[in-house]
Chains A and B, each alone.
Chain A
Amino acid sequence: MPNKTFFWFFLPTGLAMILFIGLPIISTGIQSFYAQHDQVVKEVKKCDPFGCTVSIVVDQEKTSKIREEKPLGKFNGFGTYVDRNHLAIEEIGNFWNETNSFGEFVDQVTNLPFYKALIFTLTYCLFVTPNVLLLGFIIALSLNAVTRRIRGPLIFGTILPMIVTPLVGSLVLFWMIDAEGIIGANLQMLMDDPYLSLKSSKTLTWITIIIYGIWHHSPFAFVVFYAALQTVPQEPVEAAIIDGASRWQRVRHIVLPHIYPVVTFVALISLMDNFRVFEPIIGFSAEGSAQSLSWLIYDNLVNEEVILFGSAAATSMMTIVGIAILLAPVLIRTWKEFRTAR
């Protein structure tokens, strides 16, 4: 296809992506170097029969004027990146000097908002991704062994958790797990602990969200693995059966190597999706004990008084760096393949 034709065909979609994905990333980058204006204060002298008092109040007029003049805020350089709500360089330095043991230091650091969110996000990725792969693979194997006639409805049932939006999915589970719901109430009875509830402990909340993540993402892994299983050649499998290979050996040495490229694909997609975990936190109303990086950004953006554009943008940029680190191995591999292909 000539370059000119390509250009006109690609222009609309290219323009949409540059304007609404490329530019916003740049816009986020610029915003992250600015912080909202401080409020302008003035001294007000108030006198009454008992004497005069000087109080400091916010000068609303001047504050809104300066906000209108420079809506982006004041230039802050990397200030937002290193402040207490983000990388907290200074605080970490202090903790290092003040704390006595390493455990205490780690404890302090993981209480800082950014690190807290980072740790939750990473824990979530670390537990959800492998389990999604495993569960998806087992479901695919066992559905593959079912009679072809009834597979259709079974597949439909299996993919339901994936189709609904994460907010709805987590709400549906939350209403059951809640202390007043069917599972929550039965768990209380079973454990003989009338105060047992999801919100009561941080660990329980994390486990619930992780289980939700596995529930939500496994169908995707299942669908891809199931399709891949259909392409496994029959001859080597039959040969292995004749040679007396057990079922496990067949899966391990024939099926798995065959679908290996698909496994990396699913792992990558699911890692990318898990890294932006956000809606379940709202669905489970778990803000108290579980915060993710995406949730931090959301929280800044729905701030009641002033929207914290700078703070949200700084967290966004660091999230993008995180995504880049996750994607790097794939990109490097693609680049190498591309070079050798030429």
Chain B
Amino acid sequence: MEYGLDKRSNALKIFNTTFIIVWLLVACFPFIWTFWGSFKVRADFFSRADWWYAITAFNTLLETGGKFTTDAYSQAWTEGEFWKASRNTVIVTFFVVTISLFLGTLGAYALSRSTRNYAFWILIAALIFRAMPHITLVSGYLFPFFQLQIWGILPTTIVVLVAINQPFTLWLLYSFFKTVPKELDESALIDGCSYFQAFRHIIMPVMWPGVITAGLFSLMLAYNDFTVTALLLNQENHTMVPKIQSYLGTNQHEGNLMWAVSAVVSATAPLFMLVMFFQRQVISGLTAGAVKG
């Protein structure tokens, strides 16, 4: 708030700047540190002797001859089969985003244009569904999925993630559709369009910002999910996040922990890039439900 009348004292300015710097350190340093450490050997990043080794790269020099090494990456991606996990993540994410946007836009458009009571109750039901912990849903899935023998494969997980994602997508797109004036599609209806044609040719072209935001959130959910993917996929089909967890559990290799570190960096980097490009959309999505009431 830049108030014309407001004079901030120097003390307050200094306090403010210090606070922001400290907070940014707290928020970002862990990621920077992990990124830095992922190019070291284990004895440096998890040093029993002296944490300073992580910076001077004492053991990395001894073991590999250089200050930085990409061994952890190459091993995790080949031996650790992280390539497979990232391929699975790409497949899951792509289909989850596409399908949930398709279902979500149709449903949210209908909700925003309906004046009946049931539209309100459906939104409330979606809110309750949104609150369900995913693990309770998973405990409901496992048994029927075993019986139907559809456990462990990617399509099942995609459908489940789409469904889990629907309540949030509906609410988000609903608040976006509400901002598109009704007169726009009503005039199209008078001109003889069907509802679907009005939706397809009149509403969708002006809805892109909302759709991109909803798509980003579906993407983050599918990409980041652990509960569903860890329990509904078999080893072979694991996506990145459960794969990272599997590196932690097995202690046969000394390198495994470093695999996890490099895998964490590999999995996080694309996400950060994406958010950097779409920061505006992410923020508008988070506030859509809240600020507009």
Contact = CB atoms under 8 A, between A and B. Distances in A.
B181 interface: no
B190 interface: no
B62 interface: no
B137 A301 contact: no
Contacts of A309: 139, 142-143
Contacts of A19: 163
A163 B272 contact: yes
A242 B6 CA distance: 9
A168 B166 contact: no
Chain B interface mostly: helix
A172 B30 contact: yes
Contacts of A278: 133, 135, 227
Contact of B268 (A5, A27, A157, A164): A164
A288 interface: no
Given A158-B23, A160-B31, A227-B290, A12 B226 contact: no
Interface in A34-78: 71-72
A320 interface: yes
Given A319-B133, A320-B132, A261 B293 contact: yes
B139 A323 contact: no
A23 B136 CA distance: 12
A278 B227 CA distance: 9
B8 A145 contact: yes
A130 interface: no
Contacts of B144: 27
B113 A232 contact: no
Interface in A134-191: 138-139, 142-146, 152, 154-161, 163-168, 171-173, 175-176, 178, 180-182, 185-186
B6 to A, nearest CB: 6
Contacts of B199: 9
A241 B124 contact: no
Interface residues of B, number: 104
B104 interface: yes
Contact of B195 (A1, A168, A297, A301): A1
A80 interface: no
A232 B167 CA distance: 30
Given A12-B106, A16-B159, A279-B226, A163 B133 contact: no
B205 interface: no
B289 interface: yes
A320 B136 contact: yes
Contacts of A1: 110, 113-115, 195
Contacts of B129: 17, 21-22
Contacts of B50: 185
Contact of A12 (B103, B227, B260, B287): B103
Q: Which of A161, A171, A307 has the most CB of B within 10 A?
A: A171
Contact of A231 (B128, B261, B291): B291
Contact of A294 (B133, B164, B291): B133
Given A180-B47, A182-B51, A319-B136, A154 B291 contact: no
Interface in B237-268: 241, 244-245, 248, 260-261, 264, 267-268
Interface stretch (B63-71, B75-83, B278-286): B278-286
Contacts of B54: 182
A163 B271 contact: yes
Given A14-B107, A307-B142, A238 B5 contact: yes
A210 B123 CA distance: 32
A276 interface: yes
Contacts of B128: 327, 331
Interface stretch (A93-101, A111-119, A200-208, A217-225): A217-225
Contacts of B28: 157, 160
Q: Which of A159, A160, A224, A265 has the most CB of B within 10 A?
A: A160
Given A17-B166, A278-B135, A307-B142, 11 more contacts: A17-B125, A20-B160, A156-B275, A160-B28, A163-B272, A165-B225, A181-B46, A186-B51, A215-B26, A228-B290, A238-B3
The 4 closest A-B pairs by CB, nearest first: A24-B140, A20-B163, A9-B110, A13-B107
25 contacts: A5-B195, A6-B110, A13-B166, A17-B125, A17-B129, A17-B167, A21-B137, A26-B140, A71-B143, A139-B20, A146-B16, A160-B27, A168-B241, A168-B264, A171-B244, A172-B33, A182-B54, A226-B283, A227-B286, A228-B287, A229-B1, A234-B1, A266-B290, A276-B133, A278-B227
